[in-house]
């Protein structure tokens, strides 16, 4: 019987070739035969739906995690925020980023920069300032150069 690692490798392949629905079906098979999907599985399937052009399915999976007994994690939030920004859904990315940061789960700096630039571009400077304020309160703190770069995005320098 395939183990978790084998399933994740297969799901990763399906995501790579943009077969998100098949990846999701494989995750369902995992559950049915008693192999519990892990964080890697969930990140791959969420990413797969974004890459295949089905962001609403990625959101449904994310929103259904608690209902199915899974916990969110920094990596799952990172994936959601990153791909929402790539789709220019900065309002939803902002909501998720704010929620994630309040749990002390911070997306990587590149994703934060992408979110700040998008919020600024669409005139949502107050939301961008909120993200910077949360980043400044991070424990342990971000590197001061990153914080200065975030501030410079806000000021346009």
pTM flag (> 0.75): yes
Q: What is the pLDDT of residue 124?
A: 96
Domain residue ranges of the chain, discontinuous segments joined by +: 1-71, 91-157
CA distance 153 to 113: 8
Average pLDDT, the chain: 95
CA distance 38 to 150: 33
CA distance 140 to 145: 14
Q: What is the pLDDT of residue 67?
A: 87
What are 46's two structure tokens?
């969420």
- Per residue in 36-80, pLDDT (tens digit) is 999 999 999 999 999 999 999 999 999 999 888 888 999 999 999
Please state whether the peptide bond connecting residue 22 to the residue before it is cis, i.e. omega within 30 degrees of 0: no
Instruction: Report the sign of the C-alpha dihedral through residues 84, 90, 93, 95, in that order.
Output: negative
Write down the residue that tokens 């098979």 correspond to: 29
């Amino acid at each position: 019987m395939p183990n978790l690692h084998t399933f994740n490798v297969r799901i990763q392949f399906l995501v790579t070739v943009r077969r998100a629905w098949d990846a999701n079906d494989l995750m369902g098979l995992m559950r049915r035969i008693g192999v519990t999907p892990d964080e890697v599985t969930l990140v791959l399937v969420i990413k797969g739906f974004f890459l295949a052009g089905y962001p609403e399915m990625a959101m449904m999976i994310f929103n259904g995690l608690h209902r199915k007994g899974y916990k969110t994690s920094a990596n799952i939030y990172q994936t959601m925020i990153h791909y929402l920004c790539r789709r220019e859904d900065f309002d939803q990315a902002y909501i998720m980023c704010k929620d994630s940061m309040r749990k002390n789960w911070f997306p990587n700096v590149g994703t934060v920069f992408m979110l700040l630039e998008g919020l600024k571009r669409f005139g949502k400077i107050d939301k961008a300032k909120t993200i910077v304020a949360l980043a400044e309160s991070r424990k342990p703190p971000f590197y001061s150069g990153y914080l200065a770069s975030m501030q410079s995005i806000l000021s346009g320098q």
